[in-house]
A = this chain, B = another copy of it.
Amino acid sequence: MREIEFTPERSQYVYTFGGAEPAMRIEPGTAMRLWSEDAFNFALTSVDHLPSQHIDIRYVNPQTGPFYVEGAEPGDTLALHIVDLTPARSFGASSTIPFFGGLTGTDRTALLQDALPEATWIYEVDTARQTVGFQARFGDFEVSLPLEPMLGTVGLAPGASEVRTSLVPERFGGNMDTPEMTIGTTAYLGVNVEGALFSIGDGHYRQGEGEACGTAVEGAMNSVIIVELIKGSAPLWPRLENDDYWMVVGSSRPMEDSWRIAQLEMVTWFTEMFGLHAMDAYQLLTQTSLAPIANAVDANYSVVVKVAKSLMPGGVAYDGIHHELRQAARQLR
């Protein structure tokens, strides 16, 4: 397998999906070793760093990419398989940013109340124990949490000539902030423009579902990703697959619309995989779907609908490409 390694210069960071020249052109079937900066652009390195003083909001969620995939055309499906994710620094950071997050008024849920207190939490990575350490900022509580690295953003250039900030989760993927975007997952994304122009970033050393305060344990990340191209078959919304689950991510507002999107896309997927009538798929999924919230804090809210493969023997998606990618990954990692 072709392997490519890429660490962007700071000047190469990209803050949008779409609108940027490709960092590189790659062939389908390439394994990429990518380094990405953290969502704060390395602005928060101490608990004394307050977001309002250190973060430049124009430069958050820097993306590594975009990468032009040879042969990718609108209507195709880009398959991105996450082989490995490892922290590229010895600590991650999280913070409460004024008027950003799930339990505060925001620029959208626009209220008159004062902002919540700003604060920054630094989580030390313990590589041996594979943990990150929480230390209270308003008391002295401590606890170690398992390192569970994931990518907050995986996205393509949007269609309709749009350019969106890297803070947005949408039909093209983007800032979905789902813990499912982790080692062993294959993401299927519908291609909107020639070359697909995918990028990744916003590494999280750990994140709960919902990403309640708006920022996970944010950290620079080393990612190993295999890129494949499936001609045609573009899903309407991002689909994910790992060894145990089929998943869809819907992103919109209000949150029930995010769920509706994901659930309907899963109905479609089930009609494709199992030859089911849509009403039968709707019924069967009613009894089998899981529905974890991904984020409740971004420009769109993201909801995952997922189904355990163990419940539905015989289902094969995209001709079994996930299985092949897993095999290939074993040789890489």
Residues of A at under 8 Å CB distance from B? 15-16, 18-19, 58, 94, 96, 102-105, 107-117, 119, 121, 132, 134, 136-139, 141, 143, 145-146, 160-165, 206-217, 250, 252-257, 259-261, 263-265, 267, 274-280, 282-293, 296, 301, 303, 305, 311-313
Contacts and interface: CB of A to CB of B under 8 A. Distances in A.
A296 B261 CA distance: 12
Contacts of A288: 145, 208
Given A161-B15, A254-B253, A296-B259, A287 B109 contact: no
Contacts of A15: 160-161
B141 A275 contact: yes
13 contacts: A102-B263, A105-B111, A110-B263, A113-B113, A136-B276, A137-B279, A138-B280, A141-B280, A162-B162, A208-B286, A260-B296, A290-B292, A292-B293
A229 B47 CA distance: 43
Contacts of A285: 208, 212
B254 A102 contact: no
Contacts of A276: 136, 138-139, 141
Q: Looking at A164, A287, A305, which has the most chain B CB atoms within 10 Å of its CB?
A: A287
Contacts of A111: 103-105, 111, 113, 260, 264
Contacts of A105: 105, 111, 113
Contact of A291 (B117, B161, B277, B296): B296
List the 4 shortest-distance A-B pairs measured between CB atoms, nearest first.
A138-B277, A254-B254, A255-B255, A253-B253
Contacts of A19: 19, 161, 163
B94 A134 contact: no
A94 B163 CA distance: 29
Contact of A279 (B116, B209, B267): B116
A210 B279 contact: no
Contacts of A211: 286
Given A117-B279, A134-B284, A165 B162 contact: yes
B108 A261 contact: yes
B259 A256 contact: no
Given A94-B286, A208-B288, 15 more contacts: A15-B160, A107-B261, A109-B109, A109-B257, A111-B260, A112-B282, A121-B283, A139-B280, A141-B280, A209-B289, A209-B290, A210-B286, A212-B282, A213-B286, A255-B259
